[in-house]
Structure 1
Amino acid sequence: MANPIDYLLTGLLNALYLSTKNQTSHSLTYSELMMLFEKHYEIPINRAQVELAVARMEHEGLATLVLDPYADTVIETSDKTIAEYCGSHAGVISRGWSNEEWLRSAFRNEKLWSDIDQGVDESEDVRVIPSADGFVTVNHNDESYKAVEEAVVEADEALRSDNELQVEERSWIRVHLEAGISLLRSGGPILRSALVALIIEPLKAAMKAAASEKVKALVGIAIKNLMIWLAH
């Protein structure tokens, strides 16, 4: 079954690629990306819908997000990355990339936008870390911290027993996770950037590499809990 966010993702990539033909690399905010889409397709979209699609872009390695504590997040990508991604994927992404009219017909379907908004509602409790700068203080008696440690440990154990992961992939992910867990258990002030590097980034890599839906679910819960905790 087609994922409704695939249509919006492809539309955003098309609008970005076709509207800026003289650029090989792109650095723009959510607002600028929204305006490109609305100008190209003459369809209004909202920030939450774009954030959901951009989160998919980051997950797929299509874009890098530059977070700022005071200004809007900057999305960095390139024409080469966009073209290679769309050209190598089947289904909605490949079809929408090569057939603009077919994609426009999907955007005229109200059911598509309803399903996209449902995805927004389901993900609204997942917050983006406002800044990787600064410290977070670990209090081992805090219930929210306990939920974070438990989720990360469960994800690590699931990855340890996942024989479908390549040995080298599993090895580097778990080395980082174990260092991150040890850092959490040490307590006191910890750099947010250290937890992002040691836990979140390896878990994101695990999410892409894992084949087991159970493992992916546990990894997703760990990422969600840690990001919410870091955002406080």
Structure 2
Amino acid sequence: MSIAAAIIVSGVDIYHGAGHQRFHAVRQADLTVAPRETFGLVGGSGSGKSTLLRVLAGLSSNWTGTITLAGQSLPPGKRPPRSYHRHAQMVFQDPYASLNPRHTVDRILAEGLVLHGFADVEPRIRNLLDQVGLGPRFRFRYPHELSGGQRQRVAIARAIALEPDVLLLDEPTSALDASVQAEILNLLMAIRRERPVTCVFVSHDLAVIAHLCDRVAVMQQGAIVERLSGDDLVARRVQHPYTRQLLAASEGLSG
């Protein structure tokens, strides 16, 4: 059954802490992402973009409002059921921190497949390693034996292993060297072409966002202040002063 929208976020407020320490991190966020669309969330540090992504991934429960992802309603104030993670998977900024250092690549990829009841684990692992450009020689290595780019390829393989409807990408290239960044971006673009997956890409780099994304939401101090297409961003057809500031600070943004 097809769905009209892969993600619907309506009136979402997100908080950090409690009591006097409570901080209103995201305010009344509204957005809709179409199936197979690549949607960008852009803004400076502390704008709320990664906070919103973590809620979409089911990793934070301190929020109110309404979220529907791949036809599944995300319960506010509660952690989602395990089945939710078949629909939404996340790739984190730091590939070393996101991988268990005590596990081999084989075990890292196998865990989710076994947990979610996939029967053909062995051929899936081989295929995943091929898909992300690593191959069988990396299968039994540990994260510390890999470069930063190789670790991020493992993290991407883990994320796509469950064939999720939505892939959530939290600045997946920002911790990598410039030459490796391009390789990872090319890999993500290939995955987007080959798989029926919806992507939400968080970045402070407008050049990356403009290159990858169909539409963009600009966040400032927890609020979405502007929405525009990727083409509008490249052509600098922007309205909000904060978006203009981001453009002025961004290098390499061109059509």
TM-score higher than 0.5 here? no
When you count helix as a share of all residues, which structure comes out higher? 1
More strand by share: 2
TM-score when scaled to structure 2?
0.28
Normalised by the length of structure 1, the TM-score is 0.30
